[in-house]
Amino acid sequence: MAFAIPKENYAGKVREIVIGKGDKAVKIGGYDSMPLCTFEGTWPNKPVVAMEVYDVAPELNAQGWPPATFEAFKDVINDPGAWAKKCLEYGADLICVQLAGTDPNAQNKSAEEAIEVVKKVKEAVGDIPLIIWGSNNLEKDQEVLPAIMEAFPNENWLFGPAEEGNYKKITASAIGYGHLVAGKSSIDVNLAKQLNILIENLGLSLDKVVMDPTTASLGYGIEYTYSVMERISLAALAQNDDKMQNPFINDLAKEAWKTREAMLTVEEEPTYGEQNTRGILMESITAIDLIAAGSSILIMRNPTAVKVIKELINELYS
């Protein structure tokens, strides 16, 4: 008797989400099997890589910017538009504008300044869809993100993170100005679902929502992220829970590059080995784990890591 692979039949399907518009629009989700289990179902849209562009130029060896990453962008580090273009050359599917500089505890850049940065990026990349990511400051994000939505209406970009403490203003603006929302919940299946319900209750269709389950780096709790993503996927697919059928976004580069393993020099920690490779591996392996967990959008930083991951995605999902 021939061997038949035992297959799981899933009752549910994750929503297909479109980011951006026109020919360059990016589709994610739409899958009906667990990640990598394409023999049980289909993943019509591969995971995509969004590369970061920062609103404020980072300095060499500042947290998250060891040489491996800084060198790749040092020519464009002061010009968000050029930086974004470079990302496209490196193979980015979309651009993620990181508004870390708006954080009141950092440079406290204003919403107007943030709009200027977004404008430069948009002019440089044309119709490539953007992800606009706030500084994780609840108050500031609910001021800055809606302002950008208003400045660029109906672009159908993805804005995040919207959390329990500020989802109302961000969601209401997304409804009004035609954008998408990434809802961020703190590493819990039920909290993720509750946020989806709350966002939907405000009137934003779940076809416009992506889930950020809170991302941890390799070695710093990635197993929690993995577990929560797996359980959300099982609820969405196996139990057909329609409040959980949304694809994931993982803001992973910040986490991977701020680790000691990425930041310490060989002199500081000789047993860790060569620093550049180490950092790139931290980012790559974190991304691989998240692909295995079912991520649809990986927010990444280093071009070499991006290259590795793009090749891997093409191999896994071709």
CB of 188 to another protein, least distance (A): 6
The answer to whether residue 191 forms part of the interface with another protein (CB under 8 A) is yes
Give the other-Cβ count within 10 Å of 3's Cβ.
5
Q: Which is nearer to another protein, 115 or 198 (CB)?
A: 198
Q: Out of 201, 265, 277, 314, point to the residue binding another protein (CB under 8 A).
A: 201
The answer to whether residue 147 forms part of the interface with another protein (CB under 8 A) is no
- Binding mask 207-246 toward another protein (x if CB under 8 A, else -) reads ------------------------------------x---
The answer to whether residue 189 forms part of the interface with another protein (CB under 8 A) is yes
Contacts of residue 153, Cβ cutoff 8 Å, sequence gap at least 6: 177, 178
Dihedral sign, Cα of residue 28, residue 33, residue 37, residue 40: negative
Whether the Cβ atoms of residue 103 and residue 140 lie closer than 8 Å to each other: yes
Q: Which is nearer to another protein, 110 or 194 (CB)?
A: 194
SS3 124: helix
Whether the Cβ atoms of residue 216 and residue 225 lie closer than 8 Å to each other: yes
The answer to whether residue 203 forms part of the interface with another protein (CB under 8 A) is yes
Applying CB under 8 A, the span of 112-120, 167-175, 258-266, 295-303 interacting with another protein comes to: 167-175
Q: Which is nearer to another protein, 90 or 152 (CB)?
A: 152
Applying CB under 8 A, the span of 34-42, 127-135, 155-163, 172-180 interacting with another protein comes to: 172-180
The answer to whether residue 190 forms part of the interface with another protein (CB under 8 A) is yes
- Left (φ > 0), alpha (ψ -120 to 50) or beta: where does 110 sit? beta
Instruction: Provide the token pair at 202.
Output: 């405000």
Applying CB under 8 A, the span of 10-18, 111-119, 182-190, 291-299 interacting with another protein comes to: 182-190
To which residue do tokens 């300044």 refer? 113
Whether the Cβ atoms of residue 31 and residue 45 lie closer than 8 Å to each other: yes
